[in-house]
Structure 1
Amino acid sequence: MPVWLEVAIRSISIIIGLFIITRILGKKPLSKLSFFEYIIGITVGDIAGTLSMDLGISLEEGITSILIWSLFPVLTSRISLRNKKFRNFVEGNSTIFIKNGKILEENLKREKYTVDELLEQLRKKDVFRVADVEFAVLEPNGDLNILLKREKQPLTVGDVFPNPPSEKEPQTVIMDGMILDEPLATMGLSRGWLKQQLDKQGVAIENVFLAQVDSYGQLTLDLYDDKIQISEPQEKKLLLAAIKKVQADFELFALQTESKEAKELYQTNAEKMQTLLQKVEPFLRN
């Protein structure tokens, strides 16, 4: 067998094997690997590269070495899932760096972390004063997570509006010009509804690169030709206008009727619609 052909067969076999191993190891991103897992990955790659090029190394011996190095982290992760003490020993524990706005110097020394490095990590989180931090912890993978003090935390919708309506994730209903039926069914919609919405925009399905439907039923489009202008979704604005019209109609009916009971009924419903309008208007304006 020619040398180049043997190298090619070895390389292709090793690539397939490494792909299978990565699937077994899971989907943990590179930034979340522990230092030990990172070293194992480098070692496996070095063994695989050497094995594919050095024909003097037995393929069976090389594969055995790769399997041992690759399956060891799988074994440790399985044991870690079942045993907390073993997990702490292998992956380590989180370390508190800041508590109640005060830096814990001893913990910094134990993790060989300088104050400059701590301040740098805080700046990456858009925090420039240590006193603004209620709690900061260094995770086993090296990430620094912080909790700002209550008065320094950004305002959220829940702080302004109690019990805000839940919002579901948008569903992709068209991708690469093809209709996706499962996301449509998840939203309780049909192909007929989708084609009707596209007709309103004057767009053909084959011209749509991506289309998504949000929890309000609004369809947003991204076309292959970005020069084509399409109008913004109007569903929320139309709903807001309809609520305002109903509220105004109740007030008008209350003024026009001569019946005392009807007047009270219309006024009561007008007040209910006004209350509803105050709750939903901030969400429907955006």
Structure 2
Amino acid sequence: MPDWLDIVVRSLIFLVILFIITKIVGKKQLSQLSFFEYVSGFTIGSIGSEVIMNLDLKVMHGIIGIVIFGVMPFVAGYISLKSKKFRDVMEGKGTVFIKNGKVMEENLKKEKYTIDELMQLLRTKDVFQISDVEFAVLEANGELNVLLKKENQPLTAKDFGVKVPSFKEPQTVIMDGEILDEPLSTVGQNRNWLKTELEKLGVTIENVFLGQVDSFGQLSVDLFDDKLKVAEPVEKPLILATMKKCQADLELFALATNVEEAKQMYSKNSKKLDKAINKVTPLLRE
């Protein structure tokens, strides 16, 4: 076998093996590498490249070495689930850098970080003043997590005592001009509904690059041709307009009737609907 063909075959073999090992160890190793996983990954790459380019080495020996280093993180991860001490040794522990707005200098020295590097990490979290920080910890994967002091945290609906509805994740129902039936059924709709919504927007399915349905059942689309304009969705404004019309009708009924009991009923429900309109208006105007 010519050398170049041998290299091609070896490359394909190790590519398949590395792909299989990566699928086995799972997504965690791809996103958050521990010290042990980093060393294993580095060694696996070295073994693969050495066996591919050095034709004097046996392919099987390289495969055995890669399998060993590929399986060990999986075994270590399993043991880590059972033992806290083992997990701390293999994956490391978080180190507190800031506590009560004060820098822990000894911990910085321990992790070999300078104050400039700490400030840089804080800026990635949109924090420019250490005194604004209640607590900051360097995680085992090298990421800095920051908790701001209460007075420096952004206000939320909970702070105002406002209840907001939960939002469901948007479902992608069209991709590359093709209808995806499973997400469509997840939102409780079918192809006929989708075609009707597309007609309202004035587009055809073939022109749609991406189509998504939000929590309110409203369809939004992105077209292949960015020069084409899409009609604005009308579901939310229509709901808001209908609610306002009902509230106005109740007020008219209250003024028109001479029956005191009916007048009070219309007025009471009109006020209730007015409160509901005030709560949902920010959502329906998005």
Q: TM-score, normalised by structure 1?
A: 0.96
Indicate the SS of the match to 2:13. Answer: helix
Alignment partners' CA distance in 1, 2:245 and 2:133: 48
Once the two structures are overlaid, the 10-residue window that deviates more, 143-152 or 108-117, is: 108-117
Indicate the SS of the match to 1:158. Answer: coil
- Mark the CA change 1:240 to 1:160 in structure 2 (over 3 Å): closer, same or farther: farther
Alignment partners' CA distance in 2, 1:120 and 1:155: 25
Alignment correspondent of 1:48: 48
Q: Which amino acid in the other structure matches residue 100 of structure 2?
A: N
Indicate the SS of the match to 1:273. Answer: helix
CA shift digits 1:205-229 (9 cap, x unpaired): 1111110000011110111111110
Indicate the SS of the match to 1:9. Answer: helix
Alignment correspondent of 1:128: 128
Alignment correspondent of 2:141: 141
- Mark the CA change 1:277 to 1:261 in structure 2 (over 3 Å): closer, same or farther: same
Structure 1 residues 1-286: aligned runs within 5 Å = 1-28=1-28, 30=30, 32-160=32-160, 162-286=162-286
Q: CA deviation at 1:30?
A: 4.9
Counterpart contact for 2:201–2:232, Cα < 8 Å: no
Counterpart contact for 1:31–1:141, Cα < 8 Å: no
Counterpart contact for 1:175–1:210, Cα < 8 Å: yes
Q: Which amino acid in the other structure matches residue 59 of structure 1?
A: V
Q: CA deviation at 1:31?
A: 5.6
Q: Which amino acid in the other structure matches residue 98 of structure 1?
A: I
Indicate the SS of the match to 1:236. Answer: helix
Alignment partners' CA distance in 2, 1:232 and 1:201: 7
- Mark the CA change 1:279 to 1:161 in structure 2 (over 3 Å): closer, same or farther: farther
Alignment partners' CA distance in 2, 1:195 and 1:157: 37
Q: What is the root-mean-square deviation of aligned Cα atoms in Å?
A: 1.4
Q: Which amino acid in the other structure matches residue 155 of structure 2?
A: L
Q: CA deviation at 1:159?
A: 2.9
- Mark the CA change 1:200 to 1:161 in structure 2 (over 3 Å): closer, same or farther: farther
Q: CA deviation at 1:116?
A: 1.3
The alignment-based identity, stated in percent, is: 57
Structure 2 residue ranges without an equivalent (≥5): none
Counterpart contact for 2:96–2:107, Cα < 8 Å: yes
Aligned pairs, number: 286
Alignment partners' CA distance in 1, 2:190 and 2:268: 38
Once the two structures are overlaid, the 10-residue window that deviates more, 95-104 or 209-218, is: 95-104
Counterpart contact for 2:201–2:233, Cα < 8 Å: no
CA shift digits 1:50-90 (9 cap, x unpaired): 11121111222221111122111111111112211110111
Alignment partners' CA distance in 1, 2:241 and 2:160: 23
Indicate the SS of the match to 1:159. Answer: coil
Indicate the SS of the match to 1:174. Answer: strand
Structure 1 residue ranges without an equivalent (≥5): none
Q: CA deviation at 1:191?
A: 1.1
Q: Which amino acid in the other structure matches residue 187 of structure 1?
A: V
- Mark the CA change 1:260 to 1:282 in structure 2 (over 3 Å): closer, same or farther: same
Counterpart contact for 2:202–2:231, Cα < 8 Å: no
Q: CA deviation at 1:27?
A: 1.3
Counterpart contact for 1:136–1:146, Cα < 8 Å: yes
Q: Which amino acid in the other structure matches residue 240 of structure 1?
A: L
Alignment partners' CA distance in 2, 1:156 and 1:34: 35
Q: Which amino acid in the other structure matches residue 91 of structure 2?
A: E
- Mark the CA change 1:278 to 1:147 in structure 2 (over 3 Å): closer, same or farther: same
CA shift digits 1:172-229 (9 cap, x unpaired): 1111111111111111111111111111122111111110000011110111111110
Alignment partners' CA distance in 2, 1:31 and 1:109: 27
Q: CA deviation at 1:161?
A: 5.1
